[in-house]
Structure 1
Amino acid sequence: MAQLIVYYSRRGENYVSGSIQTLAVGNTEAVARRLQALTGADLFQLEPMQPYSDDYNECIQQAQDDQRRDARPALRACPETLDPYDTIYLGYPNYWGTMPMCVFTFLERFDFTGKTILPFCTHEGSGLGHSEADIRRLCHGAKVGKGLAIHGTAVCREERALEAWIKGGN
């Protein structure tokens, strides 16, 4: 069976090591691309129909509002089916202890029974938060492996951690 990497990432203004910096490639996307190179898995990027603002502070307000409302933002596209895949790597930045709400939209769209979900997140100090528990709650019947949290400013230096996580079999 095949593997799929599904991820949400944010380019543009991001919080990096205590300051706002503009990123051409989001941290989670950088990890997802490296993961694809290491595994050969198919790659799919989640994009909300209504993108968050490029301005960091506006984005924070929008994302927090989505979380407060328990919103399920519409996605531009989704995989047609997950049937060919037995393993899904799921990547996202940590937004206030969990996944961005568009990742919830994706998870609620499919039946993950019998599949393995391997979560990975990028963060600036908050790790995986309660995202693993949220995935388990949303994806009944799936095996949710141990997640990998990568500090956003270290995505380019985490090759060994990523390789160990993949080999760990979760």
Structure 2
Amino acid sequence: MKTMYFLIIATVMATFSMNVEAQKTSNGKKVLVAYFSRSGNTKAIASHIKELTGGDLFEIQTAKPYPADYHACTEVAKKEKNDNARPELKEKVKNIEEYDIIFIGFPNWWGTMPMPILTFLESYKLEGKIVIPFCTHGGGGEQSCFRDFVKNTSKATNKKGFITSGGAASSARPQVEKWLKEIDIIK
């Protein structure tokens, strides 16, 4: 019975401690982690950010899914980029005005952000918000990803983005934590 009592107390204390930590790390600001991910790499980084900031996750999805085949998907993405398309999104963040800090993640597609990210950015008024990009890539690096992001979020406050190769995404939590401290999001 005594052991059970201490176990319950320890669980309650751990839960309380996690909640306090999440509030402390986001500096009292409400955090949204929005991401677009084809293979799961960008989702892995989004999950790290969510865990470290206590933020809410939102997956950016297109109304018409991309082809499952990699090469077919890249051809659609290339055409969208060439056409400067704005693919329709499956759903919107209904309460975006409540968020102070918005992380937006995406893979590098053809040297920049996937076009659904532009649809997302153009769907909201981001003035007064802190917006922070994060990107995964398959070897192409940053290229124009962050420069294009800042160009399309110029009315918001931008902070330095995070980039990693897709293959390193699932184990990048220490690097994500270091970056979040560098940009003064967590302590």
- Bin for the TM-score computed over the shorter chain: 0.7 to 0.9
Q: Residues 18-29 of structure 1 correspond to what in structure 2 (within 5 A)? A: 26-29=40-43
Write out per-residue CA displacement over residues 99-131 of structure 1, whole angstroms, 9 at most, x where no aligned residue.
110010000111111111111100012222212
Aligned mate of 1:148, from 155, 162, 185: 162
TM-score, structure 1 normalization: 0.87
Distance in 1 of aligned mates of 2:146 and 2:100 = 18
Bigger Cα Rg: 2
Greater share of residues in helix: 2
Secondary structure of 1:83's match?
helix
Distance in 2 of aligned mates of 1:32 and 1:95 = 18
Shift of residue 155 of structure 1? 1.1
Structure 1 contact 111–139 (Cα < 8 Å) conserved: no
Structure 1 contact 135–144 (Cα < 8 Å) conserved: no
Residue 91 (str. 1) matches residue 105 (str. 2): yes
Write out per-residue CA displacement over residues 25-65 of structure 1, whole angstroms, 9 at most, x where no aligned residue.
x1001111121111110110000011110001110111101
Write out per-residue CA displacement over residues 37-94 of structure 1, whole angstroms, 9 at most, x where no aligned residue.
1111011000001111000111011110111100000000010132111111110000
Greater share of residues in strand: 1
Aligned mate of 2:95, from 66, 69, 81: 81
Identity, % of aligned pairs? 38
Q: Structure 1 counterpart of 2:175, which letter?
A: A
Unmatched tracts of structure 1, length 5 or more = 12-25
| CA RMSD in angstroms, aligned pairs only | 1.2
Write out per-residue CA displacement over residues 128-159 of structure 1, whole angstroms, 9 at most, x where no aligned residue.
22122222222232111111111111112212
Distance in 2 of aligned mates of 1:67 and 1:143 = 26
Aligned mate of 2:147, from 129, 133, 156: 133
Structure 2 contact 112–148 (Cα < 8 Å) conserved: yes
TM-score, structure 2 normalization: 0.80
Structure 1 contact 128–148 (Cα < 8 Å) conserved: no
Which residue does the alignment assign to 2:35?
7
Residue 105 (str. 1) matches residue 133 (str. 2): no
Which residue does the alignment assign to 1:65?
79
Structure 2 contact 160–183 (Cα < 8 Å) conserved: no
Which residue does the alignment assign to 1:35?
49
Number of aligned residues: 156
Unmatched tracts of structure 2, length 5 or more = 1-28
